[in-house]
Amino acid sequence: MRHVDLPRPDPSVHGVGREYRGLAGKLQFRVLQRCGLEPDLHMLEIGCGIGRLVFELAPFLDRGSYVGFDISPEAIAWLNEHYAPRLPNFRFDVLDIYNARYNRDNTGSAQTVRWPYEDDAFEFACAFSVFTHMRLPEVAHYLTELRRVLRPGRRAVVTFALITDRDRPPYVHAGKPLVQIDDVSYTRRVERPERGIAYREAAVRATVEQAGLTIVEVIDGSWHGWNSSKPRVVNDAVVVTS
């Protein structure tokens, strides 16, 4: 572990949601460690936001490297100003992609974008609370891109709010009731579903498989209200391999 002196992520830069008592990044980091993240891996973070995970990763990932991307120019500018100069093995990229919740000025499509990374570029990847703000065809394309950039046999952790066979209606996520909008999708805001989308687990499993990825494990998120002794985050962490 190296010592790095970083300012804390600044929530005023880009609204990434509740901070969970300052624990969001710590919990994410714990889940990644349990899923096999090592200090010498080359990793990708999809939707890195304001760097909550980066703040926790920076001392740990001393021999590997990190690339994070997001669709918020403000968040990436902040990371490039405050973190990149102190972390030579970390890089932050902005992608021009529209999202009804997070960036309505962008014009690119999450359903067709090619991420600016080579095939097999990464040995580990993650996306925390990103697919909960994307429609299923967009998620399907992102999983195909993930498959392309993740080296064969390597792992990624991607979170969803999964409606499972154990859940019973009415479904409630983060204190808000979920309304069904199609066969497999539920949202907290019908007029703007990207505020928060939950998917039926079977639909997510099928989408992951269609992208050529294999599910290794699903770590239940705390949002279901079930007891667990495993490290976990609010949403369900789907661990996949390429």
Ligand X SMILES: C[S@@+](CC[C@H](N)C(=O)[O-])C[C@H]1O[C@@H](n2cnc3c(N)ncnc32)[C@H](O)[C@@H]1O
Q: Which residue is nearest to ligand X (CB)?
A: 49
What SS3 string covers 123-137?
EEEEECCCHHHCCHH
- State the Cα angle at 206 between 201 and 208, rounded to 5°: 95
- The nearest distance, CB 123 to ligand X, in angstroms, is 19
Point out which residues pair with 163 in neighbouring strands: 200
- The nearest distance, CB 38 to ligand X, in angstroms, is 21
- The nearest distance, CB 197 to ligand X, in angstroms, is 11
Counting residues that bind ligand X (by CB under 6 A) gives 22
Cα(30)–Cα(61) distance, rounded to whole angstroms? 13
Name residues whose C-beta falls within 8 Å of residue 86's C-beta, 6 or more positions apart in sequence.
4, 5, 6, 58
The nearer residue to ligand X, 50 or 184, going by C-beta atoms, is 50
Cα(123)–Cα(186) distance, rounded to whole angstroms? 32
The nearer residue to ligand X, 142 or 171, going by C-beta atoms, is 142
DSSP 170-215: SPEETTEE-EE-SSSEEES-TTSGGG-EEEEHHHHHHHHHHTT-EE
- The nearest distance, CB 161 to ligand X, in angstroms, is 11
The nearer residue to ligand X, 70 or 167, going by C-beta atoms, is 70
The nearer residue to ligand X, 106 or 241, going by C-beta atoms, is 106
Q: Which of residues 40-59 bind ligand X (CB under 6 A)?
A: 46-49, 52
- The nearest distance, CB 168 to ligand X, in angstroms, is 26
DSSP 67-90: EEEES-HHHHHHHHHHTGGG-TTE
Q: Which of residues 148-187 bind ligand X (CB under 6 A)?
A: none
Contact pick of 13, 31, 57, 133 for ligand X (by CB under 6 A)? 133
Site mask for ligand X (CB under 6 A), range 76-105, x = bound = ---------------------x-x--x---
**Position 47: which residue type?**
G
Contact pick of 123, 129, 162, 242 for ligand X (by CB under 6 A)? 129
